[in-house]
Amino acid sequence: LLDAGDDVLLATRQGKAIRFAGDEVREFQSRNSTGVRGMRLAPGDEVISLSILHRVGTSSEEREDYLRFAPWKAEREGEPTMPLDRFELLRAKEQFILTVCQNGYGKLSSAYEYRRTGRGGQGITNIDNIGRNGPVVASFPATKAEQLMLVTDQAKLIRIHLGDLRVIGRGSAGVRLFDVGKGEHVVSAAKIDEQEEPENAAEAMVAAELAQDTAPDTGDTIGGDAAEGPEGGQ
């Protein structure tokens, strides 16, 4: 669902992406309308995902300043020029884009690197070295508190913690996530919560009842009546 002030991120199979303001797409009168161009695709390319990003309201100078000193960077020299409270606000609101490719490679990058442009352009690099990586399979927002499930066309799967994946640049080629076999390809990627939380009060109540029903019996079954005669032991 798209709210006022959100941005749209389109990612393509050949490693391109475009980010534009959601309000650049006008509301159409009919569901059957033909729509407007979101991105100009190269021959043979196609859009494989759409993500909604929350707009923070930063300037290009602020984003560059933050990215030079981002907490996830391995090497940082000096201090950002922006006030500390502003830096902490950008840190708190930072989103990350996970991109996964067919040959098992992928990466996690800061959404601040995806600058907002006008709708209908050719976009910018989402991941490099498509020749090695293979076409992009999935690209969506993710956090280090989540896990990633990858499935191949040979019915193999792997589940990895995104907390083990370091954040790297948008234009980089990525790292190996899944060591697929010869001729094997990743066909699906999904993020999984580290700990599933109940979606509502009713679900929480059911979960509590199940936990109570399956809890170990702490009574005196073995040391009490059950151990005294044959009937109790059946």
Q: What is the pLDDT along the chain (234 residues), one digit of tens a residue?
A: 888 889 999 999 999 999 999 989 888 888 888 889 999 999 999 999 999 999 998 999 999 999 999 999 887 778 899 999 999 999 999 999 999 999 999 999 999 999 999 999 999 999 999 999 999 999 999 999 999 999 999 999 999 999 999 999 999 999 999 999 999 999 999 998 765 566 677 767 766 776 666 555 545 444 444 444 444 333
Cβ proximity of 118 and 10 under 8 Å: no
Structure confidence at residue 226 (pLDDT): 41
Using CB atoms within 10 Å of the CB of residue 25, give its burial: 0 to 12 exposed, 13 to 18 middle, 19+ buried.
middle
Considering the domain 6-56+93-193 in this protein, what is its CATH number? 2.120.10.90
Structure confidence at residue 220 (pLDDT): 46
User: What pTM does this model have?
Assistant: 0.79
Cβ proximity of 129 and 176 under 8 Å: no
How many C-beta atoms lie closer than 10 Å to residue 127's C-beta?
27
